[in-house]
Amino acid sequence: MTQTDTADAPAQATEPHGRQAARPLLHFAERYALAGLLVVVGVFFTVLPASSQIFPTAANIQILASSQAVTLLIALAALVPLAAGFFDFSAGAVAAASSVVMAGMMANHGLPLWTCVLAAFAVGLTVGFFNGIAVCVFGMNSFVITLAAATLLGGGIQWYTHGQTISKNISPALIDFGSLTWGGIPRVLFVVAGATLGIYYLVDQTPYGRSLRAMGDNPSAAKLVGIPVVRTGVGAFVIAGALASLAGITLTARIGGATADNGTAMIFPALAAVFLGATAIRPGHFNVFGTVFGVTLVAVSVSGLTLAGAADWVNPVFNGAALAVAVMISSYLGKRTR
C-alpha cells in the first residue's frame, strides 16, 4: 500500500466534538444491560425458595437449553434477512413444514435418515429461494410475501397431516440425537452452537455480512458501492430457509416426530428474541450474540417463573413485556447518547 500524504490535514481535524465524558459508561451499560439482567434473573430464581429446589440443577438447565434450541435456530433464521432489512415471517412455518416432510418420509415411505434430512433442507432452500426472488427481483414487500408463504405452508401441513401427529418409524438415531447428551451437554446444543458461530462469522466477519448490513441501512447506497443487492438479498432468504429447516430437523429429533402445528407459535418468540437482541452487544443493530442473550433471558425467566408456580399464561406475557421494556430502555439510552 502506497501512502500518499499529500494533504495531511491540520491537527484540529481530530478535535473532539465535545460531548459528555459519561458516554463510555452509557455505552457499556447499553451493551451489557441484557446480559446483566440475565445474571440477575438467574440469581433471583436460584435464591427464591419456591424455585431454588429445581431451578439451578443440571437437569433443569439441560431441559431449558434443549427446549430453546429450536427457538434460537429460528431466531437466527429471521436475523439474516432482517440484517438486510427484510422480514421473514415464514421461518417458523418452514421449520414446521421441514419437520412434517422429514417425519412423513420416515413414517410413510421408510426412507433412510440422510434422505429425509436432505428433503427437510430442500423445503427450506426452496421456500427461501422463492421468498428471495419475490422480494429482491420482483420488489414485493417482504413482510407480506413471507406472511403469505407462512400461511400457505400452514395449509400444506394441515393437508398432509390431516391434523394428526406423525410419530411412526422415526429413526432411533434421530431420537437419540434429540434426547441424549454428550458429556452432560444435550447433543442438539452442539448443532445450535455450530449454527450460532457460523452465522456470527457470516454476519460479522465476512464481506457478505457487511453487504447485508449495508443493504439494511440503505439499499440505494448499497447498490452504488457495487454490492450485488439482488444476489445478496436472495442469499439471505436462502440461508434463512436452510436455518429454519435445521430448526425443523432439531424439532423432529426433540419430539420424536412431527405435529400438525403450523409454526406460527414458533416465529413470534424468535422474532421477539432478535429484536431483544438488537438492544444489546451492538445496540441498534441485529446481532447474533444479542439474539442468543435474548433467547436465553426469556427462557430462563419463564422456566424460573414456571417452577415458582406461575401459570402458563405467564410465558407469553413475560415475552411481550421483556421486549417492550428492552426496546423502551434502548431507545431511551439511544436518545441520551445521541
Partner 1 sequence: MPPSSKTQAAAFSLEARGISKRFGGTQALDDATLTLRPGSINALLGGNGSGKSTIVKCLTGVYRADEGEVLLHGRTMSARDISPVVAHRAGIRVVHQDLALFDRASIAENFAFADRFPTTPLGSVSWSRLNRRVAQILEQHSIPARPTDLVGGLRPAQKTLVAIARALQDQQDQPDQEMVLLLDEPTASLPEREVALLFEALRERASQGQSLAIVTHRLSEVLAVADDITVFRDGRVVGALPAATADHDELLSLLAGPTRQVQEVGTAGENGQGQPGAGRVAVELQQVSAPPLADADLVVHEGEIVGVAGLLGSGRSTLLNVIFGCRKPTSGMVRVNGLPLQPGDVAGAMAAGVALVPENRLRDAAFSTVSVRENVSAAVIKEFWRLWMRAGRERAEAQRLARKYAIKTRDVEQPYLHLSGGNQQKVILARWLRRKPRILLLDEPTQGVDAVARMEIYRAIRDAADEGCAIIVASSDHDELALLCHRVVVLQAGRVGGHLSHGTITPDAITRIVQSVSASLEPVR
Binding positions for partner 1, rule: CB under 8 A: 3-10, 12-21, 204-207, 210-211, 213-214, 217-218, 220-226, 228, 284-285, 338
CA atoms within 13 A on the CB side of 184: 5
The residue (of 190 and 223) whose beta carbon lies closer to partner 1 is 223
In the complex, minimum distance from the CB of residue 252 to partner 1, in angstroms, rounded to a whole number: 34
Total number of residues shown for the chain: 338
The residue (of 58 and 225) whose beta carbon lies closer to partner 1 is 225
The residue (of 8 and 312) whose beta carbon lies closer to partner 1 is 8
Task: Please tell me the distance from the alpha carbon of residue 187 to that of residue 291, in angstroms, as a whole number.
Answer: 21
In the complex, minimum distance from the CB of residue 99 to partner 1, in angstroms, rounded to a whole number: 34
In the complex, minimum distance from the CB of residue 85 to partner 1, in angstroms, rounded to a whole number: 11
CA distances, 23 to each of 28, 280, 287, 328 (Å): 9, 16, 22, 19
Contact yes or no for 187/178 (Cβ under 8 A): yes
In the complex, minimum distance from the CB of residue 48 to partner 1, in angstroms, rounded to a whole number: 40
Give 130-139 contacts, CB < 8 A, sequence gap 24+: 131/88, 131/90, 131/237, 131/240, 131/241, 132/233, 132/234, 132/235, 132/236, 132/237, 132/238, 133/234, 135/86, 135/233, 135/237, 136/229, 136/230, 136/233, 136/234, 136/237, 137/230, 137/234
In the complex, minimum distance from the CB of residue 46 to partner 1, in angstroms, rounded to a whole number: 37
The residue (of 63 and 210) whose beta carbon lies closer to partner 1 is 210
CA distances, 96 to each of 150, 157, 199, 266 (Å): 10, 8, 21, 9
The residue (of 5 and 312) whose beta carbon lies closer to partner 1 is 5
Contact yes or no for 99/248 (Cβ under 8 A): yes
In the complex, minimum distance from the CB of residue 275 to partner 1, in angstroms, rounded to a whole number: 15
The residue (of 42 and 219) whose beta carbon lies closer to partner 1 is 219
